[in-house]
Amino acid sequence: MTTPATALEVRLASRPDGLPTLDNFEIAEAPVPTPAPGQVLVRNLIMSVDPYMRGRMRDAKSYVPPFQVGQPLDGGAVGEVVSSTVDSLRPGDVVLHFLGWREYAVVDAATVTKVDPDAAPLGAYLGTLGMPGMTAYAGLTAAAGLREGDVVFVSGAAGAVGSVAGQLAQLLGASRVIGSAGSAEKVRHLVDDLGFDAAFNYKDAPVGEQLAAAAPDGIDVYFDNVGGEHLEAAIDSMNPHGRIAACGMISGYNDPAGAYRPGNLMKIVGWRLRIQGFLVRDHDDLRPEFERRVGGWLREGKLRHEETIVDGIRSAPTAFLDLFTGGNTGKMLVRISS
Ligand code: NAP
């Protein structure tokens, strides 16, 4: 395939106020850059859209810098090297890198990771074997300190992180795993396909009532992807010395000021609960054991990689917006090229 002179990229057109819309994005043609010494040119095949990108659309200090208006967005992607200035990477190599949201990217060779396209579907390197899978593993092991026999509740359970967290909790010895998700089909999928012991649709009735019914003896670990009413319900259902892995709070991302605040925090004292916030990037030390254990379970068929793929870079903004209305089951991905 000849490299074109120009290619498409997705830029931030304006900062959203509340729920983002397609108007906040611009799809533009840009010259395909030439790699300088130490760099490679990559043709992107598949890219990730993630909830944390909503925070980067805000001009606020955070643990990742904000996207800039008029500039392309970035994020996880897998692509094929088309030209290289370094000996360690050759045209045809498939690499994981951080310049998604564009058809072609010039990337510093030192920042890419070579992946084996025959060992797993490309999307798995952005999902179960990638950042979301690692988030699930670090959250359960390091943040929650999961123990054999724990009753575990996972919110956002049909999503990228949640679907891995629920399956890993089972593999790591939980006695009962309960999930919540936003549709009847997702609830069915959790129980029938992913082996959750119980699941409920959080839109059907108050989360607290449904969780209490699914976990009559209480929960020991809560893996929180949602925050708000889910967090309040989990605290109410916690057994003494329960642990919460605070992974994300998507229910408040589009209106942090108006987000639902749990009213029962005093229970943390009496029940001696632990709420541990964590960021996956602080847990690189776990990567070797994650790759060995989670990679092994995936190869053995004990763990399923779940993904929803939409086609074409022009669909990337819609795919991102769909994260906030539950349009994905498993990892949300955009196929840019094949
Ligand atoms: P995801 O779960 O694949 O996608 C987002 C899902 O959230 C949607 O499919 C939707 O599913 C659900 N959702 C959207 N709005 C909601 C609301 N108001 N209430 C309840 N559920 C809602 O996304 P992900 O990449 O796996 O991320 C999950 C969480 O982990 C996010 O909070 C994210 O920010 C966080 N995260 C944290 C780290 C870290 O290092 N701490 C790393 C990665 C991700 P339903 O159909 O079920 O509503």
Q: How confident is the model at residue 42 (pLDDT cuts 50, 70, 90)?
A: very high
Q: Taking Cα atoms as reference points, which of 217, 177, 185 lies closest to residue 201?
A: 185
The closest residue, in CA terms, to atom 29 on ligand 1 is 225
For a pLDDT cut of 90, what percent of the chain falls above it? 97
Do residues 287 and 134 lie in contact, with contact meaning Cβ atoms separated by under 8 Å? yes
Model-level pTM?
Answer: 0.98
| Residue 186 clears pLDDT 90, i.e. is over it | yes
Strand 113-114 to 94-97 pairing? antiparallel
Average pLDDT over residues 21-25: 98
The closest residue, in CA terms, to atom 32 on ligand 1 is 248
For residue range 217-226, what is the model confidence (pLDDT) as tens digits?
999 999 999 9
Q: What is the DSSP letter of 34?
A: P
**Strand residue runs (E) in the chain:** 6-12, 25-31, 39-48, 77-84, 94-97, 104-108, 113-114, 151-154, 176-181, 198-201, 219-224, 238-246, 274-277, 307-311, 331-335
Do residues 202 and 219 lie in contact, with contact meaning Cβ atoms separated by under 8 Å? no
Angle of CA points 119, 76, 225, to nearest 5°? 100
The finding on whether 156 has its CB within 6 A of some atom of ligand 1 is yes
The finding on whether 162 has its CB within 6 A of some atom of ligand 1 is yes
The finding on whether 271 has its CB within 6 A of some atom of ligand 1 is no
Q: Which of 56, 250, 334 to mutate to test the pocket of ligand 1 (most atoms within 8 A of CB)?
A: 250
For residue range 46-98, what is the model confidence (pLDDT) as tens digits?
999 999 999 999 998 888 999 999 999 999 999 999 999 999 999 999 999 99
**Residue 254's CB: how many other CB atoms inside 10 A?**
15
Question: Phi then psi for 65, rounded to 5 degrees?
Answer: -65, 150
The finding on whether 226 has its CB within 6 A of some atom of ligand 1 is yes
The closest residue, in CA terms, to atom 39 on ligand 1 is 279
Q: In angstroms, what is the span from residue 279 Cα to ligand 1's centroid?
A: 14
Domains of the chain: residue spans and CATH? 6-127+306-335 (3.90.180.10), 131-282 (3.40.50.720)
Residue that has been written with the tokens 């089909």 in this structure:
185
The finding on whether 41 has its CB within 6 A of some atom of ligand 1 is no
Query: What is the pLDDT, as a whole number, of residue 286?
Result: 98
For residue range 289-334, what is the model confidence (pLDDT) as tens digits?
999 999 999 999 999 999 999 999 999 999 999 999 999 999 999 9
Average pLDDT over residues 232-251: 98
The finding on whether 280 has its CB within 6 A of some atom of ligand 1 is yes
DSSP 219-237: EEEEEESS-HHHHHHHHHH
**Residue 229's CB: how many other CB atoms inside 10 A?**
17
Task: Give 288's Cβ-side CA count (13 Å radius).
Answer: 1
